[in-house]
Amino acid sequence: MAIIDGKQISTDIKNEVKKEVIELLDKGIQPCLAVILVGENPASQVYVRNKKRACEYCGIKSLSYELPESTSEEELLALIDSLNLDPDCNGILVQLPLPKHIDEDKVLLRIKPEKDVDGFHPYNVGLLSIGKAQLKACTPAGCIELIKRSGVDITGKKCVVVGRSNIVGKPVGMLLLAENGTVITCHSKTKDLAEVCRQADILVAAIGKPKFITGDMVSDGVVVIDVGINRMDDGKLCGDVDFESVEPKASHITPVPGGVGPMTIAMLMQNCLIACKKQKAM
Ligand code: GUN
C-alpha cells in the first residue's frame, strides 16, 4: 500500500516547469499569466493567491486583476479582449465562480483557446475529446500525472470514474481513455454503483460528497484518486473517499489534503509554459 504524495509530485512538476522557464529566460522570453478575480469570495482569494505564488516560484510573470463584485459582464469581456490581443500575456485565468450577474459560459468562450490555461474553453474540451489536447483541464490532468508518476500503467486497466461534471468527471474519463484505459463513468443515476466500483483497477472519485466511497465498494489492489474536498463540521477537510476503510484495500491512494489538491496549480503552471512555448513557436 502506498499513499500518493501529491505535494511532492506537484513540487516535482513545478521544478520541471521552473527549469524550462529558466531556459526561456535565457532566450529573453518570460511566460506570463493573467489572473482575474471578480468579487471577494474568500475561497477564490486563497486560490488566486496560491496561483500567483506558484507563478513566482516557477519564474512565470503574473498579472493580477482583482475587480470589484460590481464589475459588469461588458467590462470583464473588454479586459479579456485586451489580454487576448496582448502578445506578452500567454495565459488568461478567470477564477470561478463569477458573480451571478455575469454569464460564466460567455466569459470562458471569450478567452482565446491558445491562452485558455484552465482548459475550460469548448475548443480545448473538444481537442481533449478527440485525443489531441493541447491545454488540458488542470485537475483532470493532475489526476493522470498522479497515477503515472506512481508507476501505475493505465493501459488496459478498468477505470471507474464516479461523477460526470464538466470540470472533472468527464475530462478525467477522456484522459484515461486516451491512456488506453477501459473507462466507465458513473453518476447519481448509476445502478449498482458499489458493484461497478468493485470492478475498478483505478477508481477516480469526483462526486462532492464526503466519504461517499467506502471500503466495501472497492476491491483489493485498487488505485484510488480522490478529487473531493469537503469541509467537515469540525473544520477538517475530507475527500469523497472514506480513507480509513478504503486505504487498507488500496495499492495506491491519494490523501485529502495533500493529494489531488496541489496538482491543480502545478498543472496550471505546466499549461502556462505550454501556452507560452506554442505562442512563441518554441
Ligand atoms: N474555481 C475552482 N477551481 C477552479 C479552477 O481550476 N479554475 C478556475 N478558473 N476557477 C476555479
> pLDDT value at position 282?
82
pLDDT digits (tens, 9 = 90+) for 103-149: 999 999 999 999 999 999 999 999 999 999 999 999 999 999 999 99
How do residues 54-90 score in pLDDT, each as one tens digit?
A: 999 999 999 999 999 999 999 999 999 999 999 999 9
Per-residue pLDDT reduced to its tens digit, 188-208: 999 999 999 999 999 999 999
Q: What's the pTM? A: 0.97
With a 6 Å cutoff on the Cβ, whether 263 touches ligand 1 is no
Distance CA(205)–CA(211), nearest Å, equals: 10
- Ligand 1 centroid–CA 195 distance in Å is 32
CB of 248 closer than 8 Å to CB of 1: yes
**Residue 156, pLDDT above cutoff 90:** yes
Q: Which three cell numbers stand for residue 94?
A: 478567470
Residue among 92, 102, 120, 167 whose CB has most ligand 1 atoms within 8 A, to mutate? 167
Query: Which atom of ligand 1 approaches the CA of 118 most closely?
Result: 7
Q: Whose CA is nearest to atom 4 of ligand 1?
A: 96
- What's residue 1's pLDDT? 75
Annotated active-site residue 95? The verdict is yes
Whether the pLDDT of residue 172 is over 90: the answer is yes
Domains in the chain (CATH in brackets) are 28-112 (3.40.50.10860), 138-261 (3.40.50.720)
pLDDT band, very low/low/confident/very high, at 214 (cuts 50, 70, 90): very high
Identify the pLDDT of residue 26: 98
